[in-house]
């Protein structure tokens, strides 16, 4: 229940109301690399990430993949299909073992009816995603591959012990899927950034040692 209290979507609810939602939710576990929802599935519930990391992605008929967003504990997804009744607009996969809370559509819609303030949180979240998608389109259209990598690194990095660190360990293919480039190009750029002393990569994280160059 503590998790729900920390999410902006449920910030306006009282303790009893949050407890009621939690009781109606179902806890689900997903192994690494397993699919949580497929694009085109019925929108049967809202998912809240309790632990683990996930990605939201699209694929074409040739199997090519583009990653739309990355999800961490405290994030939620699935509200769009609940609101418009349309099928899921994208697929979601657990990158690592993940624990999720699934809230039924009926409970989610009842919450919005009883607490209109919660809709403001939904709108804020959707607007943030629209802005992110706008920036992604701008980056794909106007930036080269290095510019896209630089933008992703600056977006994901957080301050930790005086360093800018990306705790989520992305593989080169995952990074390529996010920025719309080949893994080979990503590999070359990362090697040059390491050689230039700009970044350090280990098994668990990536450290930005100094400001990335303006050009590659």
CATH ID of 144-208, from 3.40.50.10190, 3.30.479.30, 3.40.30.10, 1.10.10.10: 1.10.10.10
Q: Residues 31-41: pLDDT tens digits? A: 999 999 999 88
pTM of the model: 0.76
Q: DSSP assignment of 10-33, as one string?
A: GTT--HHHHHHHHHH-EEEEE-TT
- Predicted confidence band at 1 (pLDDT cuts at 50, 70, 90)? low
Beta-carbon count within 10 A of 76 CB: 21
CA-based nearest residue to 186, from 146, 130, 142, 128: 146
pLDDT in tens, 164-205: 999 887 889 999 998 888 999 999 999 999 999 999 998 778
- Residue-wise pLDDT tens digits, 53-96: 999 999 888 878 888 889 999 898 988 877 777 888 899 999 99
* Identical topology for domains 2-140 and 144-208: no
The pLDDT of residue 150 is above 80: yes
Domain boundaries, the chain: 2-140, 144-208
- Structural class in CATH, domain 2-140: mainly beta
Beta pairing, strands 163-166 & 158-160: antiparallel
Q: How confident is the model at residue 137 (pLDDT cuts 50, 70, 90)?
A: confident
């Amino acid at each position: 229940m503590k998790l729900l209290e920390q999410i902006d979507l449920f910030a306006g609810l009282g303790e009893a109301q949050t407890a009621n939602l939690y009781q109606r939710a179902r806890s689900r576990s997903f192994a690494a690399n397993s699919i949580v929802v497929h694009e085109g599935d019925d929108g049967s519930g809202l998912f809240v990430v309790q632990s683990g990391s996930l990605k939201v992605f699209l694929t074409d008929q040739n199997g090519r993949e583009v990653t739309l967003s990355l999800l961490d504990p405290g994030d939620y997804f699935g509200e769009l299909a609940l609101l418009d009744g349309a099928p899921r607009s994208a697929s979601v996969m657990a990158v690592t073992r993940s624990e999720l809370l699934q809230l039924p559509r009926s409970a989610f819609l009842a919450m919005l009816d009883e607490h209109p303030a919660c809709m403001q949180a939904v709108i804020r979240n959707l607007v943030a995603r629209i802005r992110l998608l706008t920036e992604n389109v701008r980056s794909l259209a106007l930036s080269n591959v290095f510019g896209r990598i630089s933008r992703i690194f600056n977006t994901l990095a957080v301050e930790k012990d005086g360093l800018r660190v990306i705790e989520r360990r992305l593989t080169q293919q995952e990074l390529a899927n996010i920025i719309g480039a080949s893994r080979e190009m990503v590999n070359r750029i990362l090697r040059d950034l390491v050689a230039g002393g700009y970044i350090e990569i280990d098994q668990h994280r990536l450290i930005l040692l100094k400001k990335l160059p303006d050009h590659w």
